[in-house]
Structure 1
Amino acid sequence: MLQIAIADDHAMFVDGIESILRNENTIQVVARCFDGNSVFEMLRKYPVDVLLLDINLPDLSGIEVSKRIHEDFPDVKVIALSMYNEESIVSEMLKNGARGYILKNTGHHELIQAIQAVAAGHTYFSKDVTETIMGSLAKKPGTKKSFVLVPKLSNREKQILALIVKEYTTPEIAERLFISLKTVETHRSNLISKLNVRNTAGLVRAAIELQLIDKSVID
């Protein structure tokens, strides 16, 4: 059973999430807190698989909390909760260890899907957030930072990276591009090596920050 904790300073919102998750046989809410500093005490006390983290806590930002969790509790996977659908905030959360980003108007089924996906080692973004990310990737190449050495990607690598950002699974990528699962995994490993990241969340962050995908590839 997945052990879930919630950090949000709005008690009614937390009550609502708990009510939703209470009916799930594979998910258990083990703890809740209402400010950033309490998160670390909570994680020391309870075994937690996934933390639902508000990015606007009263004492510490969700970005700072996520960074410290990533450093001190690396086994805890963070899903950011926010009312803000802004690429810069999404990118900062990913940079600081978050594995998912969902909006607070997310429905019941998407919340469950996000928890299950992140617990399984994948990333997850609300549909609107995914659209924001893809819109950011479609910006002109000139928006790249000139001092960043951008690795050269093949067209196939760009295709696979775009599908990863769109949250396609390995089998779905293989089917869409008419290639084997092993080939997809090889390209994924090469991308992780080229972009000097550790996981899928790192690939998404790099795609955003370095503007690695052309609009023609996204479409």
Structure 2
Amino acid sequence: MSTQTPTVRGDAYLIVDDHALIREGIVRVFSDTRPQARLFEACNLQQAIQTLQGEHGPSIDTVLLDLNLPDSRGLETLQRIKAVAPDIVVGVVSGTDDDHLAMQCLQQGAAAFVPKHGELDQFVQGISAMACGGIYFPRELLWQVTGRLSAADAPPMVPGVASVRLTQRQGEVLRLLLKGLSNQVISNELGISPETVKLHVSALLRAHKVSSRVHLILACASPHAA
């Protein structure tokens, strides 16, 4: 557990998992991708809540959360964290890659869903995306979402909103955004400035009538958007 003095919110993460090896693995990813980040650890929900409500709580802006802890299981774990800190960013680090559970977590306010199992590269990519300010979801969920946007011959349109059309560049930004990439990575991929990416993202949110990237993914993945 970090013993640094409390500071204002920013670039501080709480890792909540009852398996020490998982916590150690997440710490290693951060050491490679975001070494300046301040990390705190908890092995159960009670300890996590105590940390969020304690002297270091105001400095923590992101929680990496295992849903199944010794003192709480399933979506209730996420709900209790959000009840204590409703404005905090929560990334679920799950023992399953269940798409349905991922969507439930999104609906309960999670900003990312990173499966523990499967390929190591996938786990590292998920944690790295969270560390760099991006979002991350299982490949199957992303295929479900982006599959609805992959009609190469059709003019780019907002899924489910037939009266709104996208420019070619907005369509490119949307596809990369739905892969969980941060504005900086999208900027690098498309060869445009981060400020331009930000303008495109804002336009996409307005077109979908949503207020965040998470809500945009939900809008694109909803059955009536097909």
Query: If the TM-score is normalised by the length of the shorter chain, which range does it land in?
Result: 0.5 to 0.7
1:114 to 118, 129, 136: 129
Number of positions where the alignment pairs a residue of Structure 1 with one of Structure 2: 197
Q: Give the match for residue 104 of structure 1.
A: 116
RMSD of equivalent CA atoms: 3.7
Distance in 2 (CA, whole Å) between partners of 1:31 and 1:50 is 12
Distance in 2 (CA, whole Å) between partners of 1:21 and 1:173 is 21
Question: Are 2:41 and 1:31 equivalent residues in the alignment?
Answer: yes
Question: Are 2:207 and 1:188 equivalent residues in the alignment?
Answer: no
**How far has the Cα of 1:82 moved from its partner?**
1.4
Aligned residue runs from structure 1 range 127-206, under 5 A? 129=138, 131-137=139-145, 138=147, 150-152=160-162, 153-156=164-167, 159-170=172-183, 184-206=197-219
TM-score of the superposed pair, with normalisation by structure 2:
0.66
**Aligned in 2, Cα 1:103/1:91: closer, same or farther, shift over 3 Å?**
same
Question: Are 2:58 and 1:49 equivalent residues in the alignment?
Answer: no
**How far has the Cα of 1:182 moved from its partner?**
6.4
Distance in 2 (CA, whole Å) between partners of 1:59 and 1:78 is 18
Distance in 1 (CA, whole Å) between partners of 2:125 and 2:63 is 16
Contact 2:23 2:41 in 1 (8 A): no
> What are the ranges of 5 or more consecutive residues in structure 2 without an aligned counterpart?
1-9, 149-159
Q: Give the match for residue 87 of structure 1.
A: 99
Distance in 2 (CA, whole Å) between partners of 1:19 and 1:160 is 30
SS in 2 for 1:124: coil
TM-score of the superposed pair, with normalisation by structure 1:
0.67
1:9 to 13, 18, 29: 18
SS in 2 for 1:98: coil
**How far has the Cα of 1:166 moved from its partner?**
1.6
- Report percent identity of matched pairs: 25
SS in 2 for 1:97: coil
Distance in 1 (CA, whole Å) between partners of 2:189 and 2:20 is 44
Distance in 1 (CA, whole Å) between partners of 2:21 and 2:90 is 21
Contact 1:87 1:136 in 2 (8 A): no
Question: Are 2:218 and 1:208 equivalent residues in the alignment?
Answer: no
